[in-house]
Structure 1
Amino acid sequence: MSGSRRSNHRRKPDWLKMRPPSGQRFTEIKRELRDRNLHTVCEEANCPNLGECWSGRDGPGTATFMLMGDRCSRGCNFCDVQTGGMEALDPDEPANVAEAVVEIGLDYVVLTSVDRDDLPDQGAGHFAETIRAIKERDSSILVEVLIPDFQGEPDLVREIIDARPDVIAHNIETVERLQWPVRDRRAGYEQSLSVLEQVQRESDIYTKTSIMLGLGEYAHEVYQTLSDLREADVDVVTLGQYLQPSRSHLDVYDYVHPDAFETWQRVAEEELGFLYCASGPMVRSSYKAGELFVDALVREGRSVEEARQAARAAD
């Protein structure tokens, strides 16, 4: 661990300063989402990069659409999304998301969702329908999906694979020792690894995952987690600082210095062989630099190193 336990009410370090959302592009995207009654994880999870991504400072604005409502069937102690009170799926949501993506002018879109353990297929079919709706309207749009674990059921993961997104992400979230109490007990380290392994085993789709730091993990545990992910052939990994959404959520154990994040980036790419690693205090699983890497790799056909340089130039 990088420090002793500290009060989560102390002043955040300077490297965690955030830009407030602003700009015409931000306003346009927000209006389009509200008009279509759509949700984004950018807002629901209080993402610190919302202003940068929606404002489109370095190109077209990006947004991560959250499917199947704004209430989750699970109660992870790090997440700000509301739990319980599940509602019926909106059958028009896949079409509405696809139309919004085209109207906003996105060429790379991320789809994620709340967990829907209450549904017979846990929402896999709705996810797949949304992917296909976007691709049918414009096949050139790259689609990344950040999926739940679907309780590790292979047939449900396969339904996502068959819809042919360009990237399938599923977050391991933290090291094995801290899975509980960080995550809901229906989630788990081995279960998440099995989802990522299945995608690699059954498809040629890029895989991606994310790890939060600052929850009390030891350095050797982070290294072991990265090693396990590479053993599962995960292509892209992101590492970011955990920030407490409210006083009812887990405390921040430590604010990890940017130098440590840079070290983990070098370890991930140069030692362990990930195709790309975005690592920094403000990095999140849906992160613009990571999306630019995939865009350069898939759409532009660049080499891995060229795609890395393109992503970091815009980071």
Structure 2
Amino acid sequence: MAVVIDTVGQPRPRHPEKQNRPDSPLLRKPEWLRVRAPGSPGYSATRDIVRANRLTTVCEEAACPNIGECWSQSHATFMIMGEICTRACAFCNVATGKPGPLDPSEPERVAEAVRKMGLKHVVVTSVDRDDLADGGAAHFAAVVRAIRAASPATTIEILTPDFHRKGAAPEVVIESRPDVFNHNLETVPRLYLSIRPGARYYHSLRLLERVKEQDPVQFTKSGLMVGLGETKEEVMQVMDDMRSAGVDFITIGQYLQPTRKHAPIDRFWHPDEFKALEEIAKAKGFLMVSASPLTRSSHHAGEDFARLQAARRAREAAA
């Protein structure tokens, strides 16, 4: 199993909690999930800026299949609060363990990278930090404010943890006024115990609802993976739950198994099935839907944000 270097420079297993799990088979990817290896000049330029500012990206830590495409276009999703997560979700490739202290210089370093890259739209996510009293909410808000100061024209999308048992922490993040507040439900309620054991489905749903209650102007967004054993009917029920919570934008993508120790793939959904899910979601009233095998929360986020704004204007005009 892969290793990471901890805060004192010592190698350790990337997923220590998964080491004793039995191996699961790795299914061969169908043709529609094959992507080119990264290596363009644009990719290298983005990588250099990330390295120079000592930043972490979810593109690398989560082994995103779209990294080559996104980085070649100077799009990167910054992952704040370290690269060690306190959760052990069965689908996730981010390292698990005891995180180090927060870096107070990180908000300014992220903001400077955004400015240097000339980003029109930026996505900022994080590891879960259950070790912190506020789950990292104040740090998230500081990053949003720093980007606003360094690059006022950049629109900001955040993808947050659930802030489970952190009281009013979500309100601190909401008050920083990001343009898009994203929190992924990830899977259907029936699978939470095995796939997302540290989270609670209805708590995550309530978080998204709280955003709309506090600031109706903020766009809310959430995403699902398929291929973990869910049914189409369960996915449709999650869509209804999201709409009841006021979610504007839904993303649906294929789960890809990082290692043999992670949750196995139940099946690969065909592109035609994703198209059907997209049509269903549109009919349920989402302002924006992105559903395809390679859809990820931050994939094409800038272009999607522009379409999201246009969809809201069109709906308001029609009303």
Question: TM-score, with normalisation over the residues of structure 1?
Answer: 0.89
1:77 is aligned to 2:90: yes
Once the two structures are TM-superposed, the CA of residue 75 in structure 1 deviates from its matched residue by 0.6
- Rounded to whole Å, the distance in 2 between the matches of 1:116 and 1:65 is 16
Alignment check: 8 A CA contact 1:113 1:147 kept: yes
1:215 is aligned to 2:242: no
Determine the structure 2 residue equivalent to 1:149. 162
Alignment check: 8 A CA contact 1:68 1:90 kept: yes
Aligned-pair identity in percent equals: 45
User: Which runs of 5 or more structure 1 residues have no equivalent in the other structure?
Assistant: 1-6, 308-315
- Rounded to whole Å, the distance in 1 between the matches of 2:56 and 2:145 is 19
- Rounded to whole Å, the distance in 2 between the matches of 1:8 and 1:238 is 27
Select which of 234, 238, 252 maps to 1:239.
Answer: 252
Alignment check: 8 A CA contact 2:27 2:265 kept: no
Determine the structure 1 residue equivalent to 2:112. 99
Determine the structure 2 residue equivalent to 1:277. 289
Select which of 100, 104, 127 maps to 2:140.
Answer: 127
Alignment check: 8 A CA contact 1:26 1:55 kept: yes
- Rounded to whole Å, the distance in 1 between the matches of 2:270 and 2:186 is 19
Give deviations 1:159-196, integer Å, cap 9, x for gaps. 1111111000000000010112111x331110100100
Alignment check: 8 A CA contact 2:89 2:198 kept: no
Question: TM-score, with normalisation over the residues of structure 2?
Answer: 0.88
Determine the structure 1 residue equivalent to 2:62. 45
Select which of 181, 199, 208 maps to 1:187.
Answer: 199
Alignment check: 8 A CA contact 1:152 1:192 kept: no
- Rounded to whole Å, the distance in 1 between the matches of 2:302 and 2:118 is 16
Determine the structure 1 residue equivalent to 2:8. none
Count of residues paired in the alignment: 291
Give deviations 1:120-148, integer Å, cap 9, x for gaps. 11110010000000001122100000000
Question: CA distance change for structure 1 residues 10 and 150 in 2, over 3 Å: closer, same or farther?
Answer: closer
Once the two structures are TM-superposed, the CA of residue 11 in structure 1 deviates from its matched residue by 2.0
Determine the structure 2 residue equivalent to 1:224. 237
Q: Aligned-residue CA RMSD in angstroms?
A: 1.6
- Rounded to whole Å, the distance in 1 between the matches of 2:25 and 2:228 is 11
DSSP 3-state at the match of 1:111: strand
DSSP 3-state at the match of 1:110: strand
Determine the structure 2 residue equivalent to 1:286. 298
Determine the structure 2 residue equivalent to 1:259. 272
1:29 is aligned to 2:16: no
Determine the structure 2 residue equivalent to 1:176. 189
Once the two structures are TM-superposed, the CA of residue 85 in structure 1 deviates from its matched residue by 2.6
- Rounded to whole Å, the distance in 1 between the matches of 2:151 and 2:131 is 32
User: Which runs of 5 or more structure 2 residues have no equivalent in the other structure?
Assistant: 1-23
Once the two structures are TM-superposed, the CA of residue 154 in structure 1 deviates from its matched residue by 5.0
DSSP 3-state at the match of 2:168: helix
